[in-house]
Amino acid sequence: MIALSIAAVLAVFILYTSAFGGGTPSISPSQLPGHNGRVSLVGKVTGQPTGDGHAHALRFRLRDRDGSASVPVVYRGSVPDLFKSGREVVVDGHLLNGTFVGVRGTLVTKCPSKYAPAKNT
Amino acid sequence: MADLGRAALFVSLGLALYATIVGAWAARAGKRRLADSAGNALLAALGSTAVAAAVLVAALVRHDFSFVYVAQHTSTELPTGYSISAFWGGQEGSLLLWLLVLTGYAGAAVLLNRRRAPDLVAWSVPVLGAVSIFFAFMLVAVSSPFATQTAPAEGEGLVPSLQNPYMLAHPPLLYLGYVGLTVPFAFAIGALLARRTDERWIVATRRWTLVAWTALGIGQLLGAHWAYVEVGWGGYYAWDPVENAALMPWLAATAFLHSVMIQEKRGMLKVWNVLLVILAFCLSLFGTFLTRSGVVTSIHSFTESPLGPWFLGFICAVTVGSLGLVFLRLPLLRSKTRLESLVSREAAFLYNNLLLVALCLTILWGVAFPMLSELVHGESRTVGRPYYDFFLRTFGLPLLLLMGIGPLIAWRRASLRSLGRMFFWPAGIAVVVGAILLALGAGSSTPGLAAYTFCAFVLASIVLEFVRGTRAVGSFTQLVGRNRRRYGGYIVHAAIVLLALGVAGSGAYGSSTERKLSPGQSLEVGGYTLTYRSLTQQRAANHVAVRAAVDVSRGGEVVARVEPGKNQYFAEDQVSNEMAIYTNWLRAEDVDVIADQIDPGGAIYFKALVKPLVNLIWLAGLVFLAGALVALWPDAREQRRLATRYALVEA
């Protein structure tokens, strides 16, 4: 009985993962070449971002967390309060002619208070 | 001062070591007085940890920036209340709070159970001591809140979104919950070590589990409300790993609170209960690890925090150690009875447990997925909202239904005829409510309609239980007074129904709009018209507040003026979005207005959301607390019953 119920739960789980795939790849700018579908791009904002995400699309460069590879990003939609140069952000989208085009409303900053390891000062 | 704090933590570490080593030896050798002394060491550890905490609070209040921690988390402009709350605003302080709450719980559990169950306490003390050793060691050697420096002129300040009254209550409540789960864990392990595998450890820790579970639940709802009013995106739960970190142990503890009733009533599920309490404790450790180690960013970055490897090691040791112990004691954990029928209250409890654990583990899988896939494929993959929403529906809706079935169905074996008699009214009411809602247009979302209908079913069956009980006993207060646990539980069920209504309503039937408006222009959302009037600026103590005046009207009449905007904080050099909410109590819905982007010219990109029934979620919190208090209230009758039971076991 218990085994049967557990099997049922597992079956639901496996059906779901096989039908909807195993999530969105979460990658850094240097890993972008070779990914054609939708990905979550993780990286650090570098340079001075321009635009506001609305009338003028937000444009910025995203760099690897630990590295120098970077990619230009264009994004429309709401921009989080904490977004600024130097922050680590995640944005969903795909690569189009060398520019990463973000999906509306997917730009999030990684909350510094919660995730960041202790500053070693 | 910092030296006093450091010394106090050293003393705590020493006392925890004493409690563990001497306590274990005393329990093994059966030395009663020595075991008492080990218990006293835990009480003393509470005292020394309190001294350390007092030192940190004093430094925070005085803005003593020679403490690195104080300089990193406060500024001179920060109001005193928030300066104190910076205690749990960072990693070192959070760890200290863990240890403080842990020694507090440990001391109280030892004091209250020492007389009643000395053999159980004797073995629980070393377990509580061992957990305290870990945290005291981290505070002394790895992540000290008392590191000093030459004081800078000004501190870095507290993240603006943490400068909120919720910051005063939400984190401490979560810690009360997380840490409280240590007590049932320690007693379970203590019982296994002592080879006393009857249900006494459950009875002795029932209230502790309830306290921890209540604090965890209320803490999470406060966090959700905080996110809703403060973070400013119009939602209250985002399936963020840090949020899931608190939800998982709560789900495991919920399953535990249900399954212990089976063990108490029928002597079944002994192994399962021990496993659940181990799971709940490990998940609360995992939650702390998750929020404090940076592992969420990437599996390779977790060593960036000095805590990561230590925590991972501790979690592994706890898991392996306790599972090994359960394995060794398996022969003692055999059930006396078997499940007689798949249609019975025991079976309903069992399904409830499976669904809760399944939900908990799928969330765990979702949280761990990025790390696991990075390990296996070398590429991190994340699962998002659709994944979690799917499993919440798949496991949550049957759970909701079970909440209506479980309390009514008979123990052991239910006959078809009794089922028909029991469920005639609730099922009838549910069908009628469903049909009415369908006619009103709720069919636009099938899961939403199912949730509403199930909620009607559960509410009807709860009301029916109260009515039947009151008729039999003759008085409502006596009915609840005689079986507080049961009827408190029903009140909590009602709270979960309200929660489900709020989640289904705001999730499945909400609407939203985004538009750029100049002063004088308006937008339409869910039957409301929002007109942007003007922009104002005001200087407050530590920020500038920019506010847009927006008139909300419905049916041509202005019903409210709301002021969404942004706060610019100086010391922290950050901007925080301040959402405005208009609550229409008559229609039981919220209109959330967000000034997403303010142009220098005064034009604003507004985002507006209508969230039906969202306030039921907060009401659910109050009802939940009321139900939990009823179940927690001291019960003289129960005490007498327990006393006879203990006497029987001792004999």
The whole-angstrom distance between B296's CA and the closest CA on chain A is 7
In terms of Cα–Cα distance, which of B103, B110, B87 is closest to B50? B103
Chain A CB contacts of B298 below 8 Å: 65
Q: What is the pLDDT of residues B190-203, one digit of tens each?
A: 999 999 888 888 88
Q: What is the pLDDT of residues A72-107, one digit of tens each?
A: 999 988 887 778 888 888 888 988 888 899 888 888
CB contact under 8 A, A2 and B92: no
Give the nearest partner residue to B305 out of A12, A40, A117, using CB atoms: A117
Q: What is the ipTM of this complex?
A: 0.75
Nearest-by-CA chain B residue for A90:
B297
- Residues A47-62, mean pLDDT to the nearest whole number: 84
In terms of Cα–Cα distance, which of B207, B295, B307, B221 is closest to B257? B207
CB contact under 8 A, B597 and A54: yes
In terms of Cα–Cα distance, which of B360, B329, B99, B156 is closest to B244? B360
Give the pLDDT confidence score for residue B108 in this predicted structure.
93
DSSP-derived secondary structure for B124-141: HHHHHHHHHHHHHHIIII
Amino acid at B330: L
The whole-angstrom distance between A98's CA and the closest CA on chain B is 21
Amino acid at B332: L
DSSP-derived secondary structure for A4-66: HHHHHHHHHHHHHHHHH-S-EEEE-GGG-TT--S-EEEEEEEEEEEES-SSSS-EEEEEE-TT
d(CA A79, CA B29): 64
Nearest-by-CA chain B residue for A1:
B342
The whole-angstrom distance between B99's CA and the closest CA on chain A is 19
The contacts of residue B95 (CB under 8 Å, 6+ apart) are B135, B138, B139, B143, B145, B292
Rounded CA Rg of chain A: 18
Chain A CB contacts of B306 below 8 Å: 117-118
Give the pLDDT confidence score for residue B623 in this predicted structure.
96
What residues 20-39 of chain B have any CB closer than 8 A to a CB of chain A?
none
Chain B CB contacts of A5 below 8 Å: 350-351, 354
Chain A CB contacts of B516 below 8 Å: 54-55
Q: What is the enclosing helix (H) or strand (E) of B582? A: strand B580-584
Give the pLDDT confidence score for residue B98 in this predicted structure.
95
A53 touches chain B (CB under 8 A): yes
The whole-angstrom distance between A18's CA and the closest CA on chain B is 12
Query: For the structural domain made of A24-115, what CATH number should be given?
Result: 2.40.50.140
Number of Cβ pairs < 8 A linking chain A and chain B: 112
CB B237 within 8 Å of CB B264: no
Give the pLDDT confidence score for residue A26 in this predicted structure.
79
CB contact under 8 A, A23 and B381: yes
What residues 71-130 of chain B have any CB closer than 8 A to a CB of chain A?
72, 89-92
Of the residues B380, B393, B569, B594, the best mutation for testing chain A's interface (the one with the most A CB atoms within 10 Å of its CB) is B380
Beta strand A70-75 pairing with A99-102: parallel
Of the residues A14, A38, A39, A113, the best mutation for testing chain B's interface (the one with the most B CB atoms within 10 Å of its CB) is A113
DSSP state at residue B302: G
Give the pLDDT confidence score for residue B399 in this predicted structure.
95
- Residues A36-63, mean pLDDT to the nearest whole number: 84
Of the residues B304, B382, B402, the best mutation for testing chain A's interface (the one with the most A CB atoms within 10 Å of its CB) is B382
DSSP-based three-state secondary structure for B294: coil
Give the pLDDT confidence score for residue A120 in this predicted structure.
32
Give the pLDDT confidence score for residue B304 in this predicted structure.
59
Give the pLDDT confidence score for residue A113 in this predicted structure.
43
Give the nearest partner residue to A22 out of B232, B350, B381, using CB atoms: B381
d(CA B364, CA B397): 19
Give the pLDDT confidence score for residue B648 in this predicted structure.
57
Q: What is the enclosing helix (H) or strand (E) of B551? A: strand B543-554
d(CA A10, CA A17): 11
DSSP-based three-state secondary structure for B462: helix
CB contact under 8 A, B298 and A79: no
Residue ranges of the domains in chain A? Answer: 24-115
B596 touches chain A (CB under 8 A): yes
A12 touches chain B (CB under 8 A): yes
Give the pLDDT confidence score for residue B294 in this predicted structure.
61
- Tokens coding B352: 């409830």
d(CA B50, CA A81): 37
Chain A CB contacts of B143 below 8 Å: 118
The whole-angstrom distance between B197's CA and the closest CA on chain A is 23
The whole-angstrom distance between B294's CA and the closest CA on chain A is 5
Consecutive 10-residue averages of pLDDT for chain B (651 residues): 94 97 94 94 97 96 94 88 90 93 95 87 96 96 92 84 83 93 95 87 87 95 88 80 90 94 85 94 90 61 70 94 94 80 86 92 87 76 83 92 88 79 89 92 89 94 91 86 89 96 91 90 93 91 90 92 89 81 92 88 90 94 95 78 62 45
Nearest-by-CA chain B residue for A10:
B358
